[in-house]
Chain A
Amino acid sequence: MRYLPLSEANRRDMLAQIGVASVDELFRDLPKKALAAAQFDLPRTMSEIEVERALGVMAAKNMNCATSAAFLGCGNYRHHTPASADYLIQRGEFLTAYTPYQPEISQGTLQAIFEFQTQVALITGMEIANASMYDGATACAEAVAMACRVTKRSHALVSGRVHPHYHDVAKTQMKFLDVNVECLAPDPYGVEDLIGRVSPDLACVVVQTPGFFGQLSDYTALGEACHKAGVLLVACVTEPVSLGLVKSPGAMGADIVVGEGQSLAGPMTFGGPGVGLFATREKFLRQMPGRLCGETTDEDGRRGWVLTLSTREQHIRREKATSNICTNSGLIALAFSVHMTLLGEAGFTRLAELNHATACDLADKLEGVKGVKLLPSAFFNEFTLALPKPAAGVVEALAKKGVLGGVPVSRFYPTYPELANLLVVCATETNSAEDQVKLVKALNEVLS
């Protein structure tokens, strides 16, 4: 087996030094009954080439977005990743290191986290950010939990323009904690009244910008109403590229900003692993979940970095910790950070502009398709269409023509028949003009 360095001679020699006759003797504490019962109906070892072949066959069964015209968003986005980003995160010193528990020999990871924390704080318009959560949805749940700790209240109101997975995860995570996570009905038309529902019994109001259906909404007035009532405004961002062009949640008065960093970090990989972004105001620092990296100096007075404020965390505080998170999304956070560094202010702005312009271009074209209506709203790089028939069937028909034409809202809301015809369509810099023509043509055919 290619991953196992011990030779039979090594094993014999080592057993002799331990003073046992066989490896089985080392397992003598295992119950005999269980050892005897063990049977595994599983394949035996395979060579590298055999594994590649088998997994290659599986991979080939998927229609992939790189070789088809794909317009899928809803929290996961296909963007171009510069070649150097994927190279850099695969350097073994990053890839195969553990959490930086020994700072003297982990300064690379630590400095990268410090830079990541700064980038996340800057783009969200917040003061501080942590070293990452699992993903956007779990970060959202953690934000709700944190808002309850900060306000000592136990009722969260979630907008119907928040990603359904985000509110589902928040609801599940609070299930056994006497926290009421109240999720409003899906709101593709942007009609819900959040300000009218703000009351001093709420811990937080959770919104998303851009919204799940693509809408851009200004939550400044909501933020003011929240603050008057001592309520925290939690803003989710599932498409951080938008922050290159659109007003940041911090500028609208958000107290906690959570998000999914996948769109800037790398490939979609069927939705995971992603990286949860978590940013807030400095005054809430002690209630934050997750790891934090901070600046300090070493014995020679040189600047360096360490994990800090760990008295919030499970390994110190155990059942009183702010969260149970341990392993987070370090490598994906690094990928996010490398890409952000490559972009810089100019590139990040330009990427956002290109996304918006491409999406506007596509919207113009789709508005010309008979029977298709664009739901009225400002948007960034995705928008919702009302089709003349159920979107799920349309999407299947488009797929047969080599086009992944969008995400039917019914996939998330099967119990809302009135939303069955809605399709969320996304365009990024990866969608060429030819892709767009292909979508418009296919949609015309499918709808005619």
Chain B
Amino acid sequence: MTLPTTASGHKGLQLEQGLIFEQDTPGMTAVDLPSLPTSKQRLGDMNRNGPIGLPGLSEPEVVRHYTRLSQKNYSIDSGFYPLGSCTMKHNPRLNEKMARLPGFAEIHPFQPVSTAQGAMELIDTCARWLTELTGMAAVAMSPAAGAHGEFCGLMCIHAAHDANGQSQRKVIIVPESAHGTNPATAALCGYTVESIPANAEGRVDIADLRAKLKEHGDTVAAVMITNPNTCGLFERECIEIADAVHAAGAYFYMDGANFNAIVGRLRIADLGVDAMHINLHKTFSTPHGGGGPGAGPTVLSAKLAPFAPVPMVVKAGEGYVSEEHAGYGTAKQALGRMKGYHGQFGVFVRALSYMMSMGVDGLKQASGDAVLNANYLMARLSAELTPAFAGPCMHECVFDDRFLKGTGVTTLDIAKALIDEGFHPPTMYFPLVVHGALLIEPTETESKQALDQFVTSLLSLARKAKEGRAAEFQAAPQLSPRRRLDETKAARRPILRWTPSATDGAKQAAE
């Protein structure tokens, strides 16, 4: 069956939609405002001269515009989203409702703290959940996302070494399998990065690590390890790693992006961790919103806690105060401020709403189901795909592309074919240590039925590839709002914004 071409360019429910700039009715607005009070202007001579160039649309046009755009997106609400390392779990709408309570949404960061005691309590309660779940001494709540939390942790480590007269420590040891933010963050602290390879079973080789620690001696500031790691495996020798790191006078940073696998089962303090960020937008169900916002509270050991950035909520008698200045009071040794205001407060509300809903028992069940789902996928998919490492895996499983050898089909092709099957592809080509990696993270909020449908599709694609039907893959996806996009073209001659001339052609084509 070939699809009919339509005069409109629409295809049934797939509706094409131009840019807002192509829908301009000059002078139109979707916002009516009350009339101006009569008062003398006090702008000096700072008036803008000339128009800005924003298009004018009415409310129905705007609602339709964004509704149509939304329909071009895949989302967790609409389907299975097994994007490894991203923990795309269900985002409860209760969280959204709670964040919109006027007592949370309509409060200003600089209203007197005496009038924001509920906000202080919320931050403190959220902090208590996080320190209790990790067993750590303190938590810096202000980091805005995982990478920002890494920055917070490494800066605390830097500050602690400086305070101990260990400023020569400038090296961070990071496994090759690490997420890109780890080395990028190390560089932001003025550190150099030394990589260690993964061993054949996908883990840090403690002998390698010991050798690296010895080689760099008293210049090692910290070792940064993701656990469970990006291969979906728990670093079994984690405690030995921590001991070796500490014996070398360095700190142990754990990337907590994968905390969802272990939450409610063990406390990372018992693993010897000095600092770890927690992506609230992964483990604690706050929505990813097409790119953010997130929050990356960073739990700290007693040795690092004094250096935590401001602001911090401090219990004072019956209520709370907000310590907002480094160098004073409880923030005497604080490294400074990392973010405006009080951190990602709206994300804290959502995360707390989730934690309270789950309870400690629900969180343990969730990590259990997340790991069960991943192992189930690994077991079933191994019928045709080649797992990169032996299980059991944690909350995600990784396959390499050996199963595609000689087929002419690549990991990318498989991913694009999955789009036609109605699934969001897994994370591709990450971790870098696995050739042609497909990193699959189902999360605990998928039913067995949803997993089985995915298995059926992916196994059938693997068989198709092995049957020599490569051409079908190279054409995929065919059923999505767009087919493969030319990324080389986008990068070679970047068009990063609308300009009247650049889109004249498109406008004519639409007419």
A21 CB within 8 Å of chain B: no
Bound CA–CA A111/B23 (angstroms): 14
Residue numbers in B under 8 Å from A50 (CB-CB): 356
- A51: CB under 8 A from chain B? yes
Q: Does residue A156 face the partner (Cβ distance < 8 Å to B)?
A: no
**Would you call A343 an interface residue if the criterion is a C-beta within 8 Å of the partner chain's C-beta atoms?**
yes
The listed residue (B71, B359, B506) touching A44 by CB distance below 8 A is: B359
Q: B29, B34, B185: which contacts A342 (Cβ < 8 A)?
A: B29
Contacts of A144 in B (CB 8 A): none
Q: When A62-B104, A111-B72, A334-B290 are in contact, do A271 and B271 touch as well, CB less than 8 Å?
A: no
- How far apart are the CA atoms of A216 and B495 in the complex, in Å? 33
B217 at the interface (CB under 8 A from A): no
Question: Given A33-B239, A118-B21, A122-B54 in contact, is the A270-B341 Cβ separation under 8 Å?
Answer: yes
A14 to chain B, nearest CB (A): 4
**Binding stretch for chain A, among B145-153, B244-252, B402-410, B461-469:** B145-153
Q: Which residues of A contact B278 (CB under 8 A)?
A: none
Q: Which residues of A contact B293 (CB under 8 A)?
A: 134, 272-273, 275, 327-332
Is the CB–CB distance between B340 and A274 below 8 Å?
yes
Whether the Cβ atoms of B147 and A37 lie closer than 8 Å is no
Q: Tell me if A295 is interfacial: C-beta within 8 Å of chain B.
A: yes
A42 to B20, CA, bound (A): 49
When chains A and B are docked, how far (Å) is the Cα of A38 from the Cα of B34?
59
8 Å CB contacts to A: which residues of B55-105? 55-57, 59, 62-63, 65-78, 81, 83, 86, 88-92, 94, 96-105
Whether A316 touches B180, Cβ cut-off 8 Å, given contacts A63-B115, A134-B339, A354-B36, is yes
When the two chains form the complex, which single residue of B108, B185, B338, B447 contacts A169, counting CB atoms closer than 8 Å?
Answer: B338
The interface size of chain B toward A, counting residues with CB under 8 Å, comes to 210
Which of A111, A244, A351 meets B69, CB within 8 Å? A111
Partner of B392, one of A20, A103, A378: A20
Q: Are A72 and B48 in contact (CB under 8 A)?
A: no
Chain A residue nearest in CB terms to B9? A302
Complex Cα–Cα for A15 and B374 (A): 11
Asked if B511 is at the interface of the complex by the 8 Å CB criterion, the answer is no
Least distance between B9 CB and chain A CB atoms (Å): 8
C-alpha spacing A348/B340, complex, angstroms: 26
Q: At the interface, yes or no: B184 with Cβ under 8 Å from chain A? A: yes
**For residue B343, which residues in chain A have a CB less than 8 angstroms away from its CB?**
272
Whether the Cβ atoms of A65 and B486 lie closer than 8 Å is no
A70 touches B105 (CB 8 A): no
Name the one of A3, A330, A346 contacting B290, with C-beta atoms under 8 angstroms: A330
User: Which A377-418 residues sit within 8 Å CB-CB of chain B?
Assistant: 377-380, 395-396, 399, 404, 407, 411, 414
Chain B residues numbered 344-377 whose CB sits less than 8 Å from any CB in chain A: 344-347, 349, 352-353, 356-362, 365-366, 368-369, 371-373, 375-376
Complex contact A88–B270 (CB within 8 A): no
Are A100 and B481 within 8 A (Cβ)?
Answer: no
B306 at interface, CB cutoff 8 A: no
Q: Are A43 and B356 in contact (CB under 8 A)?
A: yes
Shortest distance between the CB of A30 and any CB in chain B (Å)? 6
Known: A115-B21, A345-B27. 5 other contacts (CB 8 A): A59-B104, A96-B287, A308-B487, A323-B184, A345-B55
* 18 residue pairs A–B, Cβ–Cβ below 8 Å: A23-B368, A42-B129, A82-B31, A88-B67, A92-B75, A98-B83, A122-B52, A246-B46, A251-B48, A273-B345, A274-B341, A285-B494, A297-B489, A314-B181, A314-B184, A319-B187, A356-B43, A360-B37
The 5 A-B pairs with the shortest beta carbon distances in the complex, nearest first, are A271-B341, A331-B289, A330-B291, A59-B103, A378-B44
